[in-house]
């Protein structure tokens, strides 16, 4: 019963009736393993809301420049991850000094090209609010 976990997203702003948080786990496995995995999760008291959703297939890269860490990069990533149609799958940060601007290279995956553009638009809006510069699209770098 093999599966490759690709990402885990916690939705801390949404609570279940039991007071726990919703968690989205994206995993890759073979079709014959799905029922076995679902059975094991249910056996352990884990509720499964959905399975077999469309895979994120479009990918884009952007560069964000500014005081990224001080402006809460986690919040910025959460805005994209919480959409349900896109997520940040890679993050590389260069921080030359505390008082100097840093640079972050982000890879975003989405269900469609339209969803990818919507996620980048969210990133641009959040970055504008935080006085960060977004350079996109970046390809073939790093």
Domain contains 131: yes
Statement to judge: residues 93 and 127 lie in one domain: yes
Statement to judge: residues 121 and 88 lie in one domain: yes
Please give the tally of structural domains in the chain: 2
pLDDT higher than 80, residue 47: no
Closest CA to 115 of 91, 80, 89, 140: 80
Statement to judge: residues 104 and 68 lie in one domain: yes
Domain contains 49: no
pLDDT higher than 60, residue 70: yes
Q: Residue 79: what pLDDT? A: 92
Q: Residue 142: what pLDDT? A: 41
Q: Residue 122: CB partners within 8 Å, gap ≥ 6? A: 79, 80, 83
Statement to judge: residues 38 and 95 lie in one domain: no
Statement to judge: residues 73 and 124 lie in one domain: yes
Q: What are phi and psi of 73, to 5 degrees?
A: -60, -30
20 is in which domain, residue-wise? 4-43
Instruction: Quote the pTM value.
Output: 0.60
pLDDT higher than 60, residue 140: no
Statement to judge: residues 130 and 63 lie in one domain: yes
What is the 3 state secondary structure string of the chain?
CCCEEEEEEEEEEEECCCCCEEEEEEEECCHHHHHHHHHHHHHCCCCCCCCCCCCCCEEEEEEEEECCCCCCHHHHHHHHHCCCCEEEEEEEEECCCCCCCEEEEEEEEECCHHHHHHHHHHHHHHHHHCCCEEEEEECCCC
pLDDT digits (tens, 9 = 90+) for 72-131: 889 999 999 998 889 999 999 999 888 899 999 999 988 888 889 999 999 999 999 999
Domain contains 22: yes
Q: Residue 55: what pLDDT? A: 64
Statement to judge: residues 39 and 92 lie in one domain: no
Statement to judge: residues 102 and 129 lie in one domain: yes
Statement to judge: residues 65 and 132 lie in one domain: yes
């Amino acid at each position: 019963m093999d599966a490759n976990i690709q990402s885990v997203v916690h939705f801390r702003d949404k609570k279940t009736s039991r007071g726990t948080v919703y968690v989205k786990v994206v995993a890759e496995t073979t079709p014959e393993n799905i029922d076995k995995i679902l059975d094991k999760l249910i056996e352990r008291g884990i509720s499964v809301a959905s399975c077999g959703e469309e895979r994120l297939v479009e990918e884009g890269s952007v560069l964000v420049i500014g005081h990224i860490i001080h402006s809460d990069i986690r919040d910025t990533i959460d805005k994209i991850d919480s959409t349900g149609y896109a997520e940040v799958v890679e993050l590389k940060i260069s921080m030359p000094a505390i008082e100097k601007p840093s640079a972050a290279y982000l890879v975003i995956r989405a269900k469609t090209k339209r969803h990818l553009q919507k996620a980048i638009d969210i990133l641009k809006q959040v970055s504008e609010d935080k006085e960060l510069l977004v350079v996109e699209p970046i390809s073939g770098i790093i």
